[in-house]
Amino acid sequence: MIMPQRRYVLVLIFILVLSLAAGLYAGGQRYLREIKCRQIEVAMLYEDIKTLAELTGKKPAQVMQLFKQNGLTTVFLKEATLEERKANAEIMEIDSSTPFITAEFAFLTAQGLQQIIEQEGPCAPWLRELAAVSPYNSGVYFITHREDTLLQLAGQLKAKTKVARTFFLKDGYSAVYTPASFATLRGMGLGFSQTALQEIAQAGLLTAIQLKNWPDATPEGLRAVFTPLKKIPHLSALFFNDEILPAYPAYIKSLAALITELDVPVGQIEFFPQKGLAKLGILLDKKVVRMHSISPKEMANPNYNFTQAKDRYVLAAAERNVRFLLVRPFLRPDNGGAGDRILTANLNFYAGIKQALENEKLRLGQASMFSSLPVVRWLLFLMGLGVIAGGLLLWEKIKLPRRAGLILGVLTVLGWLFLLYFNLNFGRKAMALAAVIIFPVLSLAQNVPSQGVSPLEGVWRLIRTSLMSLPGAILTVGLLADTGYMLKLDVFSGVKAAHILPLLILTIVFYFCFIPSSVPGGLRLKKFFDAALPVKWAIIGLILLSLGIIYILRTGNEAVLITSSLELKTRALLDLVLGVRPRTKEFLLGYPLLLLLFYTGYRDHRFLPLLLLGAIGQISLVNTYAHIHTPLLISLQRSFNGLWLGILSGLGLIFIFYFVRQWGQKYFTEERNSFF
């Protein structure tokens, strides 16, 4: 015997309420971690510091001190290649005209050594000694007079070329030999400038480093490369340079163990996916810091200015959990002209970023990291039950057979239990996807009237509809309350499906279930496919299809590809005025059109396009919270701003609609105006 409808619905609502309590608890735990993680590193590339020093005639250490006073906390040091270090005058090539070292170290090929020795004229004694003790006629020699550089070179070359032999020469010089060719060595990282590390330490700044990949990395090679890194003073973070991490996938656990010994977070570069980084982050217990920067190409754009760059950095820190900002200075001639003016302009730029971050209640210092969120399976199970209960409430609302719904519900519960214990991550994503699909559809099915209501009643219905959609957001937040999602080591799956499927379900629900008809459902479906298609509906269909394609393309991060400059300026203005920008598809599309639908009522299927366009606001509202890397407080502010602005836009749209209808009734026949 199946229980009465009212009691059955009350049981489902009770389950849903319990699951929402679990979701709110998990969301609260996430919020507590977000408000504690408020410290930001502001970094500059060492190469940029050297460039500013050369432009102004100052030493790099002096430039560091000036920027430190204006918000700089960290110097970002890349592991440079042979060619890059040569260009930076950190390394020199020895030839017959320059046999002496004036840089940290120098290099020459075995053939080049023989040519220098065989030529007539003076030659450094240590070069003659090297030629005498070294039997090699191919390969490359690296020569230095610094012990720390010698150890670094020997370790790097042994790790990356498998063979390295050291020679101690006269006058305090040493040489490291590798049989690798110059072409092989050209693109290989050769450690970090000891001079740069000393200057950074003396300036009292933190150091962040970026390692290059190399072929055939082994655990022994990894250790040889990482051992010198332990001596770097005030090391704050470790980044990787290439699309694939060293030793991935074979020795990723060895890499994680070495980073653990360094006791620094690994860096995740925003919008630059790197194979192996997510796995590495999990192995490091999610000790990861997210970094945002602006590419040199964008910085070189003459239309890109200090204010735009500052706003972008602050937005990344405030709204995307970015805790490491690699701020490139503006070095274009149009940004000041002379070196001193360029330096002053950039000092003001950094000071402006510092002030803007402090206005967002963010502090400068070593980047803070999110503490782990525990995985509590029984809470996750309860949240999943809430999603299933929401699905059964929708099933009941559209009057499908209850017995079939109960069977489907029981099977879903068993499947959810299975996933919780055998594939937890997939299960959480699948249930979160179900949540963002079910609840917008349920709220619209519950609140869309068949007859029009007053504007005031329409506003209340819009608020009520949004509140009934929010359980989907609460359960999504709870199900994905995990540091890995907050750091984008993992992401919500099914973004496109979450935007498309609710519209498809709404089309089916409202077309076949919500308009009274004496025609049975199956026959109505047959008549639907057999019916002739009037030209006007074909045109409307094409328009809706075009809008749908744009809608789909603008979901997710790809949206930036089709965002106009006017829209970007509008977004910046909204951010400035409101603090947090609402989503355009909510306050300019979804909410106003849904409010208009409440005013007109869903009287027949001609109103279906209006319903679907209005539904976009509810879908966007729930999907806002699927962006787990966005702080909860920001998402709440975004939703609130979208709702009140959407209400104002909707009331304006109703006002326009009312007067257009009055004008139409005055000048057209009632038959031509029957749509109204």
Residues, the chain: 676
**With contact defined as beta carbons under 8 Å apart, do 76 and 210 qualify?**
yes
pLDDT for position 561: 43
Dihedral angle, C-alpha 570, 301, 334, 64, nearest 10 °: 100
pLDDT for position 355: 97
**With contact defined as beta carbons under 8 Å apart, do 41 and 236 qualify?**
yes
Angle made by CA atoms 642, 617, 599, in degrees to the nearest 5? 95
Distance CA 551, CA 156 (A): 51
Provide the 8-state DSSP code for 120. S
Q: Is 282 exposed, middle or buried (0-12, 13-18, 19+ CB in 10 A)?
A: middle
Nearest to 458 by CA among 589, 608, 586, 596: 596
Instruction: Give the residue range(s) of CATH 3.20.20.150 domains in the chain.
Output: 38-79+196-364
pLDDT for position 40: 97
- DSSP class per residue in 454-506: -HHHHHHHHHHHHHHHHHHHHHHHHHT--HHHHTTSS--S-HHHHHHHHHHHH
In the chain, the largest separation of any two C-alpha atoms, in whole Å, equals 109
pLDDT for position 336: 53
pLDDT for position 539: 63
Distance CA 131, CA 125 (A): 10
Range 299-313 burial, b when 16+ CB lie within 10 A, else e: beeeebebebbbbbb
pLDDT for position 351: 97
pLDDT for position 519: 44
Dihedral angle, C-alpha 259, 260, 265, 266, nearest 10 °: 30
Nearest to 397 by CA among 126, 75, 13: 13
CATH number of 38-79+196-364: 3.20.20.150
Q: What is the pTM of this model?
A: 0.87
| Helix (H) or strand (E) segment spanning residue 168 | strand 165-168
pLDDT for position 337: 57
End-to-end CA distance of the chain: 47
**With contact defined as beta carbons under 8 Å apart, do 584 and 459 qualify?**
no
Q: Where are the beta strands (DSSP E) in 351-399?
A: 363-364
Which portions of the chain are predicted below pLDDT 50?
A: 1, 516-523, 525, 557-561, 671-676
pLDDT for position 151: 85
Write the single-letter amino acid at 233: P
